[in-house]
Structure 1
Amino acid sequence: MFAAEFEPLFSDNRRRDPRAPVSFDSAAEEPGGLARTLCKVIDLSRHGARLSTYSALRRGMAIWLTLPGIGPVGADVMWADDFAAGCRFHAPLDPDVFEALTGRGGHIAAH
C-alpha cells in the first residue's frame, strides 16, 4: 500500500485580492479598435477579471474591457483557453468602484 499527499500546482494564495463572483455583459476591444468581442465578466478582483468570451482572445494581447458604469479599463490577457480568459488591469480598480460592481454597496455615477 502506498500513500501520497497532493498539493495543487496553482493556488489562489498568489492573488493580490480575493475574487468576487459576478455576472455582467461587457466587451473586450483591442486598442485602435482592430477587433472587438462581446464577453461576460464572471469574476472580478480589484486587479483583474475572468471572462467568458464569444470569440477567442490570445494570451499577451492588450484590451480595453468595458465595465458597467465606468467604461473602458485597460488590461492584459494573462491566460486564454477556448472561450475563457483571465486579464490583469493596468491599474487596480478603485475600492468603491469594486464594491459597486460586486454588489457589496456603493453606487457608480454614469459617465
Structure 2
Amino acid sequence: MALKSTRYRKVEPAALNRRAVPRHNVKIRRASLNRPNKNAISADLVDISVYGCRLEADAVFSEGEEIQVNVAAFDAVKAIVVWQKVKQAGCRFTDALDPEILRRLTLVS
C-alpha cells in the first residue's frame, strides 16, 4: 500500500548513476586496443567520458589490466580495465582526457 503522500503523485525512480561527470553514448568502430605482449585488437567504443570509457571487443580482459586505446587520428590513451563482462570492458583513463578530444569524439559518432 502506498503512503498517503505518494498515492496520487508519480514517484521518480532512484538515481543509479553516481558518476561525477556524464558519459556520452558513442558508436566508434575505428578503435583499437594495444595490450602488453599481445596483438592489437579492434574494438568499438560504446560510451566515453573524460575519465574513462566502455568498450566492446572479441577479447577476454582481466581487471587491473593496462591497455592503450587508439581512436583514428588521436594519440593513444593509457587506461586500466576496472570491470569486464562478456565482450565488454569498462576502463579508467590513467590521465583525464582533454575535453576538446572528448568533444571531437562525440561529434564523430
Shorter-chain TM-score above 0.5? yes
Q: Aligned partners of 1:67 and 1:47: how far apart in 2?
A: 16
Secondary structure at 1:102's aligned position in 2? Answer: helix
* CA deviation after TM superposition for structure 1 residue 84, in Å: 0.5
* CA deviation after TM superposition for structure 1 residue 74, in Å: 0.1
User: What 5-or-longer segments of structure 2 have no aligned partner?
Assistant: 2-12
Work out which of the two has the higher radius of gyration on C-alpha atoms and give 1 or 2. Answer: 2
Identity %: 28
User: What 5-or-longer segments of structure 1 have no aligned partner?
Assistant: 105-111
Residue 12 (structure 1) aligns with: 17
Q: How many residues in Structure 1 have an aligned counterpart in Structure 2?
A: 98
* CA deviation after TM superposition for structure 1 residue 44, in Å: 0.5
Q: Aligned partners of 1:34 and 1:24: how far apart in 2?
A: 22
Give the counterpart of 2:102 among 90, 95, 98: 98
Correspondence 1:29 to 2:34: yes
Q: Aligned partners of 2:89 and 2:101: how far apart in 1?
A: 22
TM (normalized to structure 1)? 0.77
TM (normalized to structure 2)? 0.78
The RMSD of aligned alpha carbons is 2.1
